[in-house]
Amino acid sequence: MTLSVHTFETNPTAADQVFAFSEELGEGRKMFFIARFHPDTHAASQIADEIFGAVYEACNRSQMSEMYDQFEDGLKGANAVAQKHKPHFPMVPEMVVALFDFNQLYLTQSGEAESYLIRNGNISQISEAAEPSQDLFVNILSGQVSIGDIVLLSTHRLLRSLTTQQLSDIFLRQSFDEAVKIFRHDLSLASEVPTIVSAIGVGVQTQAQKSGWFAAPWKKKDTGVSQLVPATSSNTAPPAANPPSADLPPAMAPPSPATSTSDYQSPPAPAPRTAAPAPAARPSAVNALGQRAGATLGAVGGAAGSVAGRALSGAKGALSKVGGTVGGAVGPQLAQVKKAPKELLYGIGGILLTLVVVLAGRAVLNYESEDEKVLKEQISIAQEAVNAAKKQQQMGEQAEASLRLGQAQEAVQKVLSSRANEDYRTQAQTILTQIQEQQQIVENAEKAEPIISSDLGLKVNDLDALGMLELNNSLYVYDTSSVHKTIRDIVEKGPTIAPNETIVTGLTDVKNDKLIFLTDSPRLIEYKNGVNTPMQTSDETWRNGVDIGLYGSFVYVLDPVENQIWKYRRQRDNYSSASAYNLESAADLSRAVSLAIDGSIYVLSDDGSITKLYQGNEVPFEFKDLPSTPMEGRNLQMYTDYNVNFIYVLDPDNSRLLVFTKGEKFATYKKQIFYNLDDVRDFVIDTDAQKAFVTTKDKIYEFPL
């Protein structure tokens, strides 16, 4: 993955002890490090060297083990180094260590250092403040980055100086380089604290030098002792008075005299070139013709290159270089031809002109745009990840294989969602087929062949289904205002039950043989035997929600806006006042999209996480052994019941149904079923028949579990 990075220091002083390093760990893997030590720290350069070296060595030992585990082992080694040098720390140093493993990011920090992710203008802090500890590094962030993301690493808390809105406005600019300049300027004015910042653009274009992150790679001497070349030394020449900020000087320059130079080797000076002697004059007609032919060929090639350079932005005058080079090379040779007939010279000129055109054509055909480079890189990442998954599966490393398939899936989706040409899309589709085949082996994935159970479109014109419910062996499909009953291919067009409002969701009350709908007014409407009854509550109004559930005589309304689940008791002819089930709003329900009840209440969020509440209190519960393709999005839906041993999750965005075994503290992944249908709206599980029913816009399909 291409990384474009600017690293700079704001408000630098002569006493600063700051460092920045980077190192490749193989294809698609890079590690980065920034650090700022207190000016009175003894041997800061050595400490930075040893800390970075400990993490690098651990992550470079084996590519077959889990990278997270390697990174964690490296931090244990770094903590041991820090513990050894702790007496030299006047205060905790501010550090960030970041590792990119293809599109996976692992990150940790110490002191007041923080890191942020900017995605589509939204700012998220991705580092976590550690509790007081004897260790320097305590927490590890692990997550995925995408093309267009910007990651900010800082030795100081940026949001103390700039607001999230300021950062968002700055980095929404088209030019990454220009955005960084403005960011650096604004930060320098807003804060007087000396701060090192690395702004990393993932797959974004930049005019920065091609070396990318830092000019300071991590190096090792022949003796085996790790050495680091700092991006800036602790003792540099005093800066200009009150400079707002300064780019970190390239580490390829020798350190100042105050810094140890025993390990520095300056690059050898280039050997002086000897000027070629000027050729003796040959004042003859043939000589003049040869010189004119060479000059003409150079001019033709140059002109063609100029036109092509304008036509193909980024080609950088490839044709001009070809034409100029060939013309310049053959001109003197033609000038040396003596007493040759004009016809021969014209013939040679024609041949050489043809050669210029051929070479120029090849230069144009071989030109590769930045977008094509990104697509090619994603194809390469996907194929390598699939190959690695196959090897890991053969070795019995199922979790690692699943992780690689996830990386491959994300890379392929980036190609398919782009404006890639047919060749790249064909390659991506081929790899996607390989991923799905491998998933069937590694992740117990199945492919279902859904069959039509009922075609409601034949009976109901312009149906745009919202959801589906099951009652007494019949399926009820509802849109925003009406409900329609179907038994197999028999469809009964139903009445309008919410003429002046919109249905949001519904549930089945099997005990009382009725359906209950929540509308946007808001209110509950009960539907039984073709009759709909708008219900009242003891409150002035009902509470809004995105999903509802039933347990006994209580209806529960999921309200992520208020971070609450509202509990209503069904009384003789109305419902009670709402009571808050999420006690003290302790559980985070702000991203909730679906709920299910079996005595406990399970809440599914759009990030694919699950929350369990019992008697109003959150209890430990989470998904376990998730497959490589993540569950996420507002379309996720969930089902379980008190007499069901599984939790079912519908993931329409990925055309699959996931099955989890329900335990006390975990919902453990069992399998996933791909059903190859687009635009699925809702689902019903028939546990007796072991079938799943799904509804699209106007049809119901079924497939076995």
Q: DSSP states of 573-584 as a string?
A: SSB---EE-SGG
pLDDT for res 358: 54
C-alpha span between 218 and 55 (Å, rounded): 12
List the structure tokens of 101. 């493993």
| DSSP category for residue 566 | E
pLDDT digits (tens, 9 = 90+) for 682-696: 999 998 899 999 999
pLDDT for res 271: 38
Q: Of 393 and 564, which is predicted with more confidence?
A: 564
663 contacts: CB under 8 Å, gap ≥ 6:
none
Residue 106 contacts residue 39 (beta carbons within 8 Å): no
CB 544: neighbour CB atoms within 10 A? 18
pLDDT digits (tens, 9 = 90+) for 502-517: 999 999 999 999 999 9
Q: What are phi and psi of 577, to 5 degrees?
A: -70, 160
C-alpha span between 682 and 464 (Å, rounded): 12
29-37 β-sheet, strand order: 17-24, 29-37, 94-101, 104-110, 141-144
C-alpha span between 235 and 635 (Å, rounded): 57
**Is the confidence at residue 339, as pLDDT, over 80?**
no
Residue type at position 92: V
CB 478: neighbour CB atoms within 10 A? 25
pLDDT digits (tens, 9 = 90+) for 215-258: 344 444 333 333 333 333 333 333 333 344 444 433 333 333 32
pLDDT digits (tens, 9 = 90+) for 322-331: 444 444 444 4
48-66 mean pLDDT: 82
User: Would residue 422 be called left, alpha or beta, if left means φ above 0 and alpha means ψ between -120 and 50 degrees?
Assistant: alpha
Q: Measured in whole angstroms, how far is the alpha carbon of residue 489 from the centre of its chain?
A: 44
Least confident stretch, 81-90, 163-172, 497-506, 547-556: 163-172
Least confident stretch, 219-233, 477-491, 512-526, 593-607: 219-233
Angle 370-394/422-442 helices, nearest 10 degrees? 20
Which of 150, 153, 152, 167 has the alpha carbon at shortest distance from 203?
150
List the structure tokens of 693. 């029913």
**Is the confidence at residue 529, as pLDDT, over 60?**
yes
Residue type at position 185: H
Identify the H or E element spanning 354. Answer: helix 342-365
Which of 64, 54, 69, 62 has the alpha carbon at shortest distance from 23?
54
The helix/strand/coil state of 125 is strand
| DSSP category for residue 143 | E
List the structure tokens of 457. 């479109």
Mean pLDDT score across all residues of the chain: 78
135-158 mean pLDDT: 89
**Is the confidence at residue 366, as pLDDT, over 90?**
no
C-alpha span between 376 and 2 (Å, rounded): 11
**Whether the model pTM is above 0.85:** no
Residue 704 contacts residue 691 (beta carbons within 8 Å): yes
pLDDT digits (tens, 9 = 90+) for 462-480: 899 999 999 998 999 999 9
List, in sequence order, every beta strand (DSSP E) within 425-502. Answer: 445-447, 451-455, 467-471, 474-478, 483-487, 490-492
Q: What are phi and psi of 503, to 5 degrees?
A: -70, 135
160-170 mean pLDDT: 86
DSSP string, 209-250: -TT-S-S-BEEE-TTS-EEE--SS-SS-PPPSSS-SEEEPPP
**Is the confidence at residue 697, as pLDDT, over 70?**
yes
Identify the H or E element spanning 47. Answer: helix 44-59
Q: Of 293 and 579, which is predicted with more confidence?
A: 579
**Is the confidence at residue 205, as pLDDT, over 90?**
no
- In angstroms, the first-to-last Cα distance of the chain is 39
C-alpha span between 362 and 368 (Å, rounded): 12
List the structure tokens of 199. 């702004």
**Is the confidence at residue 293, as pLDDT, over 50?**
no
Q: What is the Cβ-side half-sphere exposure of residue 670, based on CA atoms within 13 angstroms?
A: 16
The helix/strand/coil state of 192 is coil
Which of 18, 198, 44 has the alpha carbon at shortest distance from 107?
198
Measure Cα distances from 598 to 27, 574, 581, 662, 688 in Å.
48, 24, 15, 11, 18
682-686 β-sheet, strand order: 451-455, 699-704, 691-695, 682-686
Q: Of 113 and 251, which is predicted with more confidence?
A: 113
| DSSP category for residue 608 | S
Q: Measured in whole angstroms, how far is the alpha carbon of residue 650 from the centre of its chain?
A: 23
516-541 mean pLDDT: 93
